[in-house]
Amino acid sequence: MQPKLNVSLRQLEYFKAIADVGSFRGAAERIGVTQPTLTAQIAALEDALGIKLFERTRSGATATVAARELIPVCNRIQEEVQSFMDTAHGFTGGVTGTYRIGVTPTLGPYLLPQVLPEIHQRFQELRLFVREGVPAELNRDLRATKHDLILSTQPIAEAGLEVSPLFREPLKLVLPLDHRLSHKSVINRMDLVGEEVLTLDEHHLYHRQVTELCQTLGANTRRDFEGTSLDTLRQMVVMGMGITFLPSLYVASEIRESDPFRVTDVFGVNMYRDHALAWRSRSPARPLFRRLAQTVRELVSNIPSAELRLLY
């Protein structure tokens, strides 16, 4: 007969935190307990399991082979416990809890301030812990359960995920006022042939999207000067280093009529990107996430300055 194991959910939480952070001290700070308390609980867990979970090093703590095998099992246990709590709470008719949402840096800062206040009003017991990351990181971290859902630009790899399209966002051509095209009443694709276009560095999905757009227009992306954020692109345009394309939500949020730019469309060219919410297909909170997606669609329809088009 196997010995009866005495393993608590709190010990699993501590175990997962150390695996994520890579140190006992960092995990203790994240959870909000003392390091001796955490160390004692991990020692008790190792004793109950009869295996070593972490090797201490000068730089922190490294998961053993056994621990690496147990991490995905721990993730599943935590998801099932959350499912148990969500199902029980569902009988009360409420929505509560803290969920981790990953957002892209070219979308989150310009959309979330427009929708989060109303979301808070509608779901008063709901808390969203927001973290930024480029789309590739968001997808990976969602699958690794570091995020509960993500707000990202499509395409989103769909295997194992449920993806809810939200809206289509236009891209705007932004030129400095002293540019040769700034006073042209209508700018068409032929006007942009050979133009130098500024974009973000290549680890951003936005870099690829702008590069593909430039290829259709016959324009060139500047690889010698790449921005680290949409704000840096705007500043480089001010300095006359080139022209750029900026998302309409950013334009509506950050650019004023008094700024030294011309913001316009390219006649006859569809310039846009699509956004979606995504979560793991087996997430116990998927009914809530579907409600959130519908709420975001309703709220973005009230941002007319950004010219957003809903997707279903």
pLDDT exceeds 50 at position 6: yes
Q: What is the mean pLDDT of residues 169-184?
A: 92
How many Å apart are CA 13 and CA 26, to the nearest integer?
A: 14
What is the number of alpha carbons within 13 Å of residue 122 lying toward its C-beta? 13
pLDDT band at 87 (very low <50, low <70, confident <90, very high): low
Q: Looking at residue 256, what is its pLDDT?
A: 87
Q: Looking at residue 95, what is its pLDDT?
A: 64
Which domains, from first to last, does the chain contain? 9-87 (1.10.10.10), 96-167+273-310 (3.40.190.10), 169-272 (3.40.190.10)
Residue 197's closest CA among 177, 180, 218? 218
Q: Looking at residue 310, what is its pLDDT?
A: 93
Q: Looking at residue 1, what is its pLDDT?
A: 44
How many C-beta neighbours within 10 Å does residue 309 have? 12
pLDDT exceeds 50 at position 91: no
Residue 143's closest CA among 133, 127, 107? 133
What pLDDT digit, counting tens, does each position of 107-165 carry?
A: 999 999 999 999 999 888 888 999 999 888 999 899 888 899 999 999 888 788 999 99
Which distant-in-sequence residues (6+ apart) come within 8 Å of 76 by Cβ?
none
> With pLDDT > 90 as the criterion, what percentage of the chain qualifies?
64
What pLDDT digit, counting tens, does each position of 197-254 carry?
A: 999 988 888 888 999 999 999 998 988 777 889 999 999 998 888 899 999 999 999 9
Q: What is the mean pLDDT of residues 35-45?
A: 93
Average pLDDT value over all residues in the chain? 89
- From residue 146, alpha-carbon distances to 21, 195, 288 in Å are 11, 41, 18
pLDDT exceeds 90 at position 293: yes
Put simply, whether the predicted model's pTM sits higher than 0.85 gets the answer no
